[in-house]
Amino acid sequence: MFGVEDLRRVLELGDSDNYPTIIPERLAKGLWCRMGFTGHINGKMIKPIFSSAYRFMIHCVIHALSHRKGAYDEASDYIMNTIACLILNRPYNV
């Protein structure tokens, strides 16, 4: 039988089940404000609302990890969690 441990070993992911799949909301929203987010904090995460320094990074992560065929201007919650962990250099279980 093939399990999660085998997948981690073969792909050499280097992660574990102990890594978070979501970060605290307060931490994420504070980071978005430091990233130059100027929109409503509980609204949609749209790329043009962020500062230009982070737009390209958000764009690349959306294209790399999103399952969408279009609408690449809006980032979902899990994409924003991934971006926050990348910026904070924290482990994240994608």
Only one residue has tokens 């978005």, namely 32
Q: How far apart, in whole angstroms, are the C-alpha atoms of residue 30 and residue 9?
A: 35
In sequence order, what are the residues at sequence separation of 6 or more whose Cβ sits closer than 8 angstroms to the Cβ of residue 18?
none
Q: Which residue type, as a one-letter code, is found at position 57?
A: M
- Tell me the per-residue pLDDT of 37-52, one tens digit each, with 9 for 90 and over: 877 777 677 888 888 8
With beta carbons less than 8 A apart as the criterion, state whether 15 and 91 touch. Answer: yes
Q: Is the pLDDT of residue 6 over 70?
A: yes
Residue type, 9: R
**In whole angstroms, what is the distance from residue 21 CA to residue 70 CA?**
25
pTM value is 0.68
